């Protein structure tokens, strides 16, 4: 029983060490925002009121951004009768992680 406990301890120690080591490789100044257009119409994408891209239907783009709370606004470019669809969402981008948003969540 003592040998089994030692073996489990060694395995768990190795596992936790590898997790810590992976975290050290991460750039703490970068997070990732994945923006998805879930319709077949083109939308302009604004992040904190700055235009980033005209995103065609059903496409996804990923941006490297500093960790921050962002406002993401989607404005329909074509395919509307008189008033374009506008969708605004708020996302938190954290260091070393991916955050996703879509024009229809």
**Topology (CATH level 3) of domain 27-102:** Immunoglobulin-like (2.60.40)
Q: How confident is the model at residue 26 (pLDDT cuts 50, 70, 90)?
A: confident
- Residue 72 burial by CB count (10 A; 0-12/13-18/19+): exposed, middle or buried? buried
What is the number of H-type helices and E-type strands within the chain?
1, 7
Give the model's pLDDT for residue 20: 44
Distance CA 18, CA 25 (A): 11
* Beta pairing class for 98-102 and 31-36: parallel
pLDDT tens-digit readout, 72-102: 999 999 888 889 999 999 999 999 999 999 9
pLDDT tens-digit readout, 52-80: 999 999 999 999 999 999 999 999 998 88
Give the model's pLDDT for residue 27: 85
Give the model's pLDDT for residue 71: 98
Give the model's pLDDT for residue 41: 93
User: What are the sequence ranges of the domains in the chain?
Assistant: 27-102
Give the model's pLDDT for residue 81: 83
Does the structure show a pLDDT above 90 at 5? no
């Amino acid at each position: 029983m003592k040998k089994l406990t030692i073996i489990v301890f060694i395995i768990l120690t190795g596992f936790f060490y590898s997790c810590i080591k992976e975290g050290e490789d991460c750039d703490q100044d970068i997070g990732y925002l994945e923006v998805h257009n879930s319709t077949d119409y083109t939308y302009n994408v604004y992040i904190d009121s700055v235009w980033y891209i005209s995103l065609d239907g059903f496409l996804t783009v990923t941006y490297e951004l500093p960790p921050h709370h962002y406002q993401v606004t989607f404005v329909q470019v074509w395919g509307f009768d008189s008033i374009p669809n506008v969708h605004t969402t708020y996302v938190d981008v954290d260091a070393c992680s991916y955050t996703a948003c879509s024009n229809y969540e």
